[in-house]
Amino acid sequence: MPMFQPVFRTTAGALALAVTCLAHAGPTLDTVKKRGYVQCGVSTGIQGFSAPDSKGDWQGLDVDLCRAIAAAVFNDASKFRLSPLTTQARFTALQSGEVDVLTRNVTPTLARDTTLGLLSVAVNYYDSQGVMVAAKLGVKTLKELDGATICVQPGTVTELALADWFRGKNLHFKPVVIDKYDEIVRAFSAGRCDAFTSDKSQLAASRTTLEHPDSYVILDENIAKSPLGPMVRQGDENWLNVVRWTFYASLEAEEFGLTSANVDSQLKSANPNIQRILGVTPGMGRNLGVDDKWAYTLIKQVGNYGESYERNLGMASAMKLPRALNAQWRDGGLMYGWPVR
């Protein structure tokens, strides 16, 4: 007799075992459930993404993603806590287990995915790196900044891309490196640097906080592309799936017209895609290790991606940023939710 007996004798048997394995929660999900809340790492304050409002409550696209994860895991979007992290501290906080997930602005790169023990999950905002200057300087193009002082955060892809761009053009600049984002904005407005480089969405957010917003110009040119999204630790595919599919469910919800206002009535929909998303057809939640109503709850309590974008970054917000690349794929954007099936 052979010493090894194959376990998977039939396709049905293999599928059943696979489903059983998938339904078992991974270490991070177990830890989060036992603790009673999800701990998310966010920025130290970027309007539209993660920043406290006038009441001290943190709001933004990245905060909404954290709330959505909490809704998916606990059926309660309030079961989360935030850790404001600088660019220098963010990866260490995730590596050490201080936070369960980074829902702050992080650009996925090959080096980060292969050297930090971390993994990029998805892109929840497509951005580009730009430069803001005082209008009184009369600067119209990036090349006019040859020899200028430029404020930039350390330990970021932004810092590296800035150096690459100037080196590639055989131009020179003097970096003014400041760790905390709010401090770098103050330094720029105080005139410590001629220009300020960051993601264009962040520059737009920062401009709204300045005393005279119209006195500053964001140049049209781009230094680099800057996709942004959440990160988790390597080695826990179950938690990776929980975070990834929370985001994709919010995109699928928007595509199929599911909103926080109509999600209850849509429980009666005959559309099989909607039935799977809302848990009317069971199984999707079990495979993640959460309740089958996970997506229903996050849509009900947080809203779909479009709702989150509109209140935090869109025309209903102070930012007033058009969807552009962050529109749904059918509307000419890059947002393309993977099928919940």
Q: What is the pLDDT of residues 260-317, one digit of tens each?
A: 999 999 999 999 999 999 999 999 999 999 999 999 999 999 999 999 999 999 998 9
For 195-235, what is each residue's pLDDT tens digit? 999 999 989 989 988 999 999 999 999 999 999 999 999 99
For 89-143, what is each residue's pLDDT tens digit? 999 999 999 999 999 989 999 999 999 999 999 999 999 999 999 999 999 999 9
Residue 204 lies in a domain: yes
CA distances from 266 to 256, 260, 269 (A): 10, 10, 5
The per-residue pLDDT for 25 is: 64
Measured distance CA(24)–CA(21) in Å, rounded: 5
Residue 111 lies in a domain: no
Which residues partner with 108 through β-bridges?
none
Residue 165 lies in a domain: yes
For 134, the 3-state DSSP assignment is strand
Prediction pTM value: 0.87
What letter represents residue 12's amino acid?
A
Residue 278 lies in a domain: no
Instruction: Give me 76's structure tokens.
Output: 């309660």
Measured distance CA(257)–CA(276) in Å, rounded: 14
For 237-261, what is each residue's pLDDT tens digit? 999 999 999 999 999 999 999 999 9
For 132-191, what is each residue's pLDDT tens digit? 999 999 999 999 999 999 999 998 999 999 999 999 999 999 999 998 888 999 999 999
Provide the residue range defining the domain that includes 178: 128-225
How many C-beta atoms lie closer than 10 Å to residue 54's C-beta? 5
pLDDT at 2 over 70: no
pLDDT at 28 over 90: yes
Residue 13 lies in a domain: no
Q: Are 313 and 321 in contact (CB under 8 A)?
A: yes
| Count of domains for the chain | 1
> In this structure, what CATH number is given to the domain that contains residue 138?
3.40.190.10
How many C-beta atoms lie closer than 10 Å to residue 112's C-beta? 17
pLDDT at 24 over 70: no
Reported as half-sphere exposure (CB side, CA atoms, 13 A), residue 94 has a value of 27
What letter represents residue 286's amino acid?
R
pLDDT at 1 over 70: no
How many C-beta atoms lie closer than 10 Å to residue 136's C-beta? 9
Reported confidence tier of residue 8, pLDDT bands at 50, 70, 90: very low
Instruction: Give me 212's structure tokens.
Output: 């005279």
Residue 258 lies in a domain: no
pLDDT at 13 over 80: no
Mean pLDDT over residues 21-42, rounded? 86
The per-residue pLDDT for 233 is: 98
Instruction: Give me 227's structure tokens.
Output: 């996709």
Residue 256 lies in a domain: no
The per-residue pLDDT for 39 is: 98
For 235, the 3-state DSSP assignment is coil
Residue 221 lies in a domain: yes
E-strand spans in the chain? 38-42, 51-52, 58-59, 80-84, 101-102, 118-120, 125-134, 148-152, 173-177, 195-199, 216-218, 224-228, 231-233
